[in-house]
């Protein structure tokens, strides 16, 4: 029997009941369930603002654009970011004619604040911090450095649904936080994202930008009173980035179980750590930062001759992944190759082992036994 990297788990009957509610009411688009999901997310996280979108990539793009518009950033201004992330993170900087400046990662695979400081120039406007695998890394130091240097902070929390730092959901100190509800994330829908701004005016603006720049969405107009409730203005050249009620309906169900599901993911990771404790120095587990209660979106190890281990795992019906290939390996970011040696080294060594709710203790033993066989043959 094969063990894949990810398999999402849905409470099918509950999801179908929420979707049926949308279908019976005849409202499947923006509004109704999207508004309810936003309210539940604010209750869960403690954020004051949350806007549901069709993807986290859309959320990051809008976070950059809204901050650019409201803070007066110019073409060519810089955002310090990590090269060890899914490529959409850094694409969203370039979407808006800004320049991604790569800083290296630390042993948590998150942005290294010491290297980050070295990258600050007179054109630096913001830092984009990625919570790799749900880890907070040295996030608190990054927050303090952003304050000291007057920089905006965007938290890419695509892996962080349910992560806590010192017992609290991190991000209230950031200018914008973006979550992913893509199909294999800890809170899976078919796809979706949430952007959470610190400022009310920015939340108000992003709702227009995500609906083509229109100043009143269809749900608002439908529920308005008066003869001219159909009338609206188009204030910006916006996008069709908003979420829909079908995805939000699934999200409402998945949110009810997020902490419970994350608890089982943590148990799986504990079993991995116990099984790999005596494997020797060749294999190292990527650690979780102190005081971080990680969502454990990924369980990552570092291994020599990584591709040989991947091949051996595949031969045994085990299909891990790599998160991620360093972005400077791609042609549009190749100009920065060599600037982040730790990220480059780790990009050649990291493996994400299978981690999902359908796995068992026996699956962990099967996977780690193959890893031990590999180490013994080194």
- CATH 3.40.640.10 residue ranges of the chain are 3-256
Overall CATH class of domain 258-376: alpha beta
Nearest-angstrom CA–CA distance, 309 and 157: 29
- CATH 3.90.1150.10 residue ranges of the chain are 258-376
CATH of domain 3-256: 3.40.640.10
Return the minimum-mean-pLDDT range out of 13-27, 133-147, 216-230, 271-285: 216-230
Return the minimum-mean-pLDDT range out of 29-33, 38-42, 205-209, 347-351: 29-33
Q: How confident is the model at residue 1 (pLDDT cuts 50, 70, 90)?
A: confident
CA distances from 67 to 63, 128, 202, 277 (A): 6, 12, 8, 45
Q: Give me the pLDDT at residue 313, please.
A: 98
Q: Which residue has the tokens 């309906």?
A: 249
The model carries a pTM of: 0.96
């Amino acid at each position: 029997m094969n063990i894949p990297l990810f398999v999402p788990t849905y409470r099918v009957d509950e999801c179908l009941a929420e979707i049926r509610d949308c279908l019976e009411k005849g409202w499947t688009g923006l509004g109704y369930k999207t508004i309810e999901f936003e309210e539940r997310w604010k209750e869960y996280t403690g954020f004051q603002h949350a806007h549901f979108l069709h993807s986290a990539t859309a959320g990051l793009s809008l976070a950059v654009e809204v901050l650019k518009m409201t803070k007066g950033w110019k073409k060519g201004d810089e955002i310090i970011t990590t090269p060890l992330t899914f490529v959409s993170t850094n694409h969203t900087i370039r979407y808006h004619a800004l320049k991604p400046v790569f800083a290296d990662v630390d042993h948590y695979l998150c942005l290294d604040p010491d290297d980050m400081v070295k990258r600050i120039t007179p054109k630096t406007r913001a830092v984009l911090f990625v919570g790799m695998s749900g880890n907070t890394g040295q996030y608190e130091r990054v927050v303090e450095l952003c304050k000291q240097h007057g920089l905006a902070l965007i938290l890419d929390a695509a892996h962080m649904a349910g992560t806590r730092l010192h017992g609290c959901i991190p991000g209230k100190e950031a200018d914008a936080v973006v979550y992913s509800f893509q199909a294999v994330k800890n809170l899976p829908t078919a796809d979706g994202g949430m952007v959470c701004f610190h400022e009310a005016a920015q939340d108000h603006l992003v709702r227009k930008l995500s609906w083509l720049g229109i100043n009143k969405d269809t749900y608002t107009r439908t529920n308005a009173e008066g003869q001219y409730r159909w009338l609206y203005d188009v204030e910006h050249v916006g996008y069709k980035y908003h979420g829909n009620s079908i995805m939000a309906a699934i999200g409402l169900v998945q949110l009810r179980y997020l902490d419970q599901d994350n608890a089982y993911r943590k148990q799986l990771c504990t079993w991995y750590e116990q099984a790999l404790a005596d494997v020797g120095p060749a294999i190292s587990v990527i650690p979780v930062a102190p005081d971080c209660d990680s969502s454990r979106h990924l369980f990552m190890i570092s291994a020599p001759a990584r591709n040989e281990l991947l091949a051996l795992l595949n031969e045994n019906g085990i299909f891990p992944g790599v998160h991620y290939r360093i972005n400077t390996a791609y042609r549009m970011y190749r100009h920065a190759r060599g600037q982040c040696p730790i990220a480059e080294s780790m990009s050649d060594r990291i493996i994400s082992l299978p981690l999902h709710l359908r796995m068992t203790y026996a699956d962990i033993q099967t996977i780690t036994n193959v890893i031990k066989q590999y180490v013994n043959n080194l």
